[in-house]
Amino acid sequence: MRRVSRDSAATVVAAFVVAAVGQLSVALVLQLAVAPRQLAAQSPASERGAAALGGVLAGLGTTGRVLTVGAHPDDEDTQFIAWLARGRHVETAYLSLTRGDGGQNLIGNELGELLGVVRTQELMSARRIDGGRQYFTRAYDFGFSKTADETFKHWPHDSVLGDVVRVVRAFRPQVMVAFFTGTPRDGHGHHQASGILAREAYDAAADTVRFPVATYGAAWTPLKFYRSARSNPDAATLRMNVGEYDPLLGRSYYEIAAESRSQHKSQGFGVLQRKGAIEDALTREQTRVNASTPASQETSLFDGVDTTWARLGKLAANEVVASKLDSASASILEAREGFRASNPTSTIRPLVQALRLVRGASDAPDAAPALPLNVASTELHDALSLTSARLQDALALAAGVAVEAIAPTAIFPVRDPAQRNVNDSLPVEITVFNRGEVSISLVGASIDPIGGRSASASPRKATDADGEHAPGTSFSVKRYAVASAPTTSWWRDQPRVGDLFSIPIGSANEIEHEARTAVNARVRLNISGENVDLVVPVVYRFADPVKGDQQVAVNAVPGITIGLGTSLQYVRAGVLVEREFHVNVRSAYAGPATVTVRLQLPDGLKADSVSRTRVLTPDAPQATLVFKTHGTVAEGRLQMGAVAMHENRLSVTGYYTIDYDHITLQREYSPSGMWLQAVDVQLPARAHVGYIAGVGDAGLEALQELDVPVEPLDPAALPTTDLSRFTSIVLGPRAYEASKVLTANNAKLLEYARKGGTLVVQYGQYEMMRPGIMPYPIELSRPAERVTLENAPVNVLSPSADLLNRPNQIGPTDWENWVQERATYMPSKVAPEYRTFLSMHDPDEPPNSNGLLQATVGRGRYVYVTLALFRQLPNGVPGAARLLINLITPPASTVTAPKR
């Protein structure tokens, strides 16, 4: 599905709504949203039962916090995070400045903000495996940057630094670790910026003048600052064995980390789960606690920092609190020593006692932090809150408690105050299973409201499930979910301003934000006299014939949604257009809904009907209406859209689904408008193009929309396919990397060129240097050369070349309005058989003339193009479309003039 920027799509809808409703006054809120987390299949790294209990018990009393900082999803050192979080039970978080929006996508066509949605969920999947927490700033990944200075031209330095400071103050780490040096050695300008900002935040987190408490939270002073020594192991001052084996888990921390790392599937980062000793290393850069200890003599990340339970007594406001803490420590020790995997019930009594004591310490006079906060009260509060949460987890595990919240459908409608007769409450059955050996009772259960304030910590009293419930039994209560707004991805709730998302990150991490926007059930149980609060997502559960048990998070959605399925299509200007537009309309209502759909077309196009009416029911909640259009349009970018009317209410948003097995299913909202990019373009005569799709590739659709006969080709079928019927064959970007079968069958393509065909290959990475891939060798430097400035001047070296003149004369206007970058992974050296046509470069760099190459191969032509067509075509850049037509035109072809 092709998407352009949300700002552009919103402009289409805004204009369309005015035209569609005339004098009707309508209040519209256009939002793009992401569904909350789906319960994915449990990872092998996710311990359960006694193994999970053993891990939680081991972490009781550990109060250390480490914040790691990088620039993108995939920058994090998952082996370090897993070793800390799973192995040392340290609260460990990764702060990614961006969501990876500007990268590329090996598994689908999502780019830009949509790719950021995919990579955000990949990070969340990774953290669920390695045990870390996840934070972001508001920075948008605008694409590759070569220097920190260039990066800060896109990201206001103080704004992003303020975001990092806000995270430091919210998470309150004793130790910070930057994954990059903050120097040109890091390569990517975003990497350099992350290294710079991490250190600046370490220095500034306590500065309440520059970063006031009211905006950034209470001041915090991290005690130590390290940098990863991955890029410079000789400078390491602290080393750890991240390949350490955990007998309780049956795996090493590196094996867990490799599974976590492999969640970055959109980047092709699957790695082996190696066994054995594996070293990781850090360099201490700054410390506020043990400066007299040489960095090389440290034995621990927390050298000089007391993270033991004993220190909490020193922080206590009075002897009563200190005494309770001492007694709680003794109970925790008793629970650990009494733990038996075959009978975890033995740990319940000391866990109950420890939880009662910790709660007593928290509730004691002067125990809770007051304003203004001081370091002692804040550290004590954090430690008691963390320990209370871990004790509740441990108690639920020891008691063998399981809770499910099941809904009869995956979506339900947002409550519309103007429509009282619509059934907009979702029944949810909350079931508690007592699989342990002690009785439990249900104190309360409730569903968090969606779109309003989160529920309090006290779920509504469960009068319908009073009394104790014996071991081996289960009991259920029914509650209702109601939404006043759709479940939405909070960071995209408003359009971006430049390269910053508009919504401040606040003081909560991604998981906490997600919990507020998901549909969650809250349950309070009483286990042996102490209350335990549990939160579970409300899910729709079904059995897939192949995958088995599937649980999909329930979403609140608008009652009626409508979409055109795409945000942009090409058309030929000045040529008769006959095209079908498919309008998808959905109902989330529990009863029948009569919906009227209208299509608004630009000047020059007419449809076979002005509107269509359908009745949508729960059994058939979706319909696709096909409008046939015809006419002639002028050159330029044109607006069109679709609206749905239901009970005098206007709907102008729709959603589509991002659904990959390794991440949470996402319902992504967008306005129901689209662009038509009308291009003045001539076509080659008698063209018949074969197309092998690449990664994030819109080339096939662009050719189809421009009326070029094109046929998709399966790389596996190349040996048995008659390629002679094609006038040219096009390979999409990174096609060889995406398909090993294509590499194996590449000789058939080169043979096609030798026999007189035109073979057009879009850019690849280092695999293009392998013998047998290209007809003549090329070399790529490391890092590869690229022109990141999208408006970098283009110097034409061969003005009369066919590629730049037939059938379309490529001129200066064709290089205007490009997006994100000019070219990527440009060869640094090429064989003399290649002819060059264009030269370009970023400021202060030498020119590179290898963005477009052509070579004679036998009787045919081989074209290699590293220009970033994969970014231009989805965004409707006219010059990229005209150039693509030239590339597929054989040298001897004739040209048909466009019909006027």
Q: Tens digits of per-residue pLDDT, 206-244?
A: 999 999 999 999 999 999 999 999 888 999 999 999 999
Residue 516, pLDDT score: 52
Residue the block writes with tokens 């209990």: 53
Helix count (H) and strand count (E) of the chain?
Answer: 20, 47
Q: Which of 226, 137, 144 is nearest to 190 (CA)?
A: 144
Q: What is the pLDDT of residue 38?
A: 32
493 or 46, which is more confident? 493
Length of the chain: 900
C-alpha 180/C-alpha 784 separation (Å) is: 20
Q: Please state, as a whole number, how many other Cβ atoms lie within 10 Å of the Cβ of residue 343.
A: 12
Arithmetic mean of pLDDT, 572-588 = 95
- The 10s digit of each residue's pLDDT in 495-513 is 899 999 987 555 444 545 5
The answer on pLDDT for 457 being more than 60 is no
Greater confidence (16 vs 184) lies with 184
Convert the pLDDT of each residue in 361-415 to its tens digit.
988 655 544 434 467 788 898 999 999 999 999 999 999 999 999 999 999 998 8
Handedness of CA 494, 498, 503, 509 (dihedral sign): positive
Contacts of 251 (CB under 8 A, 6+ apart): 44, 45, 245, 273
Whether residue 169 contacts residue 204, with contact meaning beta carbons closer than 8 Å, is answered with no
DSSP bridge partners of 829: 779
* Distance separating alpha carbons of residues 159 and 155, to the nearest angstrom: 8
| Residue among 40, 29, 140 at smallest CA distance from 661 | 40
Mean pLDDT within 825-845: 97
Q: CA angle, 290 as apex, 288 and 296 as ends, to 5°?
A: 115
Of the listed ranges 44-58, 250-264, 750-764, 865-879, the one predicted with least confidence: 44-58
Quickly tell me which residue has 């909640």 as its tokens.
Answer: 621
Report yes or no: 396 and 571 within 8 Å, Cβ to Cβ: no
Written as six digits, the tokens of 450 are 């969606």
For position 572, what pLDDT does the model report? 98
Q: What pLDDT was estimated at residue 372?
A: 40
Q: What percent of the chain has pLDDT over 70?
A: 89
Strands of 393-473 (E only): list them: 401-407, 411-413, 426-434, 440-447, 468-469
At 492 the pLDDT is 82
The confidence score (pLDDT) of residue 316 equals: 82
Q: What pLDDT is attached to residue 310? A: 86
CB 632 within 8 A of CB 574: yes
- Is pLDDT above 60 for 893? no
**pLDDT tens digits along 290-313:** 999 999 999 999 999 999 888 888
Q: In which band, very low, low, confident or very high, does the pLDDT at 329 lie, cut at 50, 70 and 90?
A: very high
How large is the average pLDDT for residues 605-620? 94
pLDDT(314) > 90: no
By the 10 Å C-beta count (0-12 exposed, 13-18 middle, 19+ buried), 392 is classed as buried
* Strand 785-787 relative to strand 823-826, pairing: antiparallel
Please determine, for residue 15, whether its predicted confidence score (pLDDT) is greater than 50: no
Which pLDDT value is given to residue 257? 95
pLDDT, one tens digit per residue, over 661-703 is: 998 888 888 889 999 999 999 999 889 999 999 998 999 999 9
Q: Which residues 6+ apart lie within 8 Å of 181 measured at CB?
A: 192, 195, 227, 231, 232
Q: Residue 877: its pLDDT value, please?
A: 98
Buried b (16+ CB within 10 A) or exposed e, 830-842: beeebbbbbbbbb
The Cβ of residue 156 has, within 10 Å, a number of other Cβ atoms equal to 16
pLDDT digits (tens, 9 = 90+) for 51-74: 899 999 999 999 999 999 999 999
CA distance 460 to 469: 19
Burial label for 769, CB within 10 Å (0-12, 13-18, 19+), is: middle
Query: Between residues 508 and 160, which one has the greater pLDDT?
Result: 160
Please say if the pLDDT value at position 852 is more than 70: yes
pLDDT at 377: 81
In percent, the amount of the chain with pLDDT more than 90 equals 75
Triad 185, 190, 194: Cα angle to 5°: 85
Average predicted confidence (pLDDT) for the chain: 88
- The pLDDT assigned to 132 comes to 96
Q: Give residues with Cβ within 8 angstroms of 738, minimum separation 6.
A: 106, 694, 695
